[in-house]
Amino acid sequence: MSTEGATDELRRSSRAEAVAKRIEARISEQALRSGHRLGTKESLRREFDVAAATFNESVRLLVSRGTISVRPGVKGGVFVASPPALVRLGRKMLELSGDSVSVSDCLVVRDTLEPLVAQEAMRHRTDADVAELRGLAAAMAPRGQSTADYLAANWALHRRIAEITPNQILRHTYVSLLEYVESRLRGVTADDPARNDPEGPAVHRELVEAIAAGDAERLNRALAAHLSLTVARREAG
């Protein structure tokens, strides 16, 4: 995938995530119960005014998080799902803790889970997964990218890596931490050209290639390089 194509893919992923968050907000704000019919896929797509591919990605994200379910047939459509108990507990903990949960603490736990997430991705990745990961890693490289865009590309890549694992507990825990950090940092990051470490894109490309290669030793080296990068970023503030 070309850099231009990867950037387009990132934009579509960002729009899909935005639509997913709006649907999640509606469910939360209106206190919609499990089984409530949100509408058909087509009616919701028209409401949010996005392309079919973008809305399908939003649906995939929400289904993977246990937020919605999709039923076929005349009386089918998109329905509010009942998330697994662990997901509800994790969300409630973050809601109750409020500002007492620091971004730094979330990142420490996320970094602890990172090796397991990457190992699971290496075990279960498909050719399609690898192609998407390579595209997302490539989107981190363009020059003149703002810090906010760089972080969005970074989060999109790590979210996609986590989505490969069939382990729902691991996936939901990791993605919840990632989304909490993202929500706290969104709007705070500068629009100036990114201050990312110059080796950041290369480190993430190597992480993806190690997952693709299925080489455990290579993956361990890539994870060590990634950890050094994230620790240095945290210490820099």
Q: What is the pTM of this model?
A: 0.63
Residue that finishes a domain, picked among 80, 99, 127: 80
Asked whether residue 54 falls in the same domain as residue 116, the answer is: no
Whether 113 and 192 share a structural domain: yes
Tell me the backbone φ, ψ of residue 79, rounded to 5 degrees. -125, 150
The answer to whether residues 121 and 217 belong to one domain is: yes
Q: Looking at residue 60, which CATH number applies to its domain?
A: 1.10.10.10
- The secondary structure of residue 194, as a DSSP letter, is P
Position 230 pLDDT exceeds 90: no
Same domain membership, residue 185 and residue 72: no
Choose among 129, 126, 137, 128: nearest CA to 3.
Answer: 137
For the domain that residue 170 is a member of, what is the CATH number? 1.20.120.530
Burial annotation 1-31 (CB, 10 A radius, 16+ → b, else e): beeeebbebbeebbbbbebbeebbeebeeee
- Say if residue 102 is in the same domain as residue 20: no
Q: What are the C-alpha distances in Å from 136 to residues 9, 119, 120, 156?
A: 7, 19, 18, 7
Number of independent structural domains in the chain: 2
Same domain? For 204 and 154 the reply is yes
Whether residues 121 and 42 fall in one domain: no
70 and 17 share one domain: yes
pLDDT tens digits for 2-49?
Answer: 445 554 555 656 788 889 889 988 887 888 888 899 999 999 999 999
Cα 202 to its chain centre, rounded Å, is 20
Tell me the three state secondary structure of residue 166. coil
Higher pLDDT, 122 or 139: 122
40 & 117 share domain: no
Shared domain for 132 and 184, answered yes or no, is: yes
Q: Which of 43, 61, 80 represents a domain boundary (last residue)?
A: 80
Taking only the tens place, the pLDDT of each residue in 58-115 is: 998 888 777 899 998 888 899 998 765 555 555 555 554 555 567 677 778 888 999 9
Regarding whether 110 and 66 lie in a shared domain, the answer is no
How far CA 232 is from CA of 31, 200, 237, in Å, comes to 41, 11, 9
- Last residue within a domain, chosen from 54, 80, 106: 80
**Within this chain, do residues 90 and 76 fall inside the same structural domain, yes or no?**
no
Q: Which domain holds residue 147?
A: 85-236
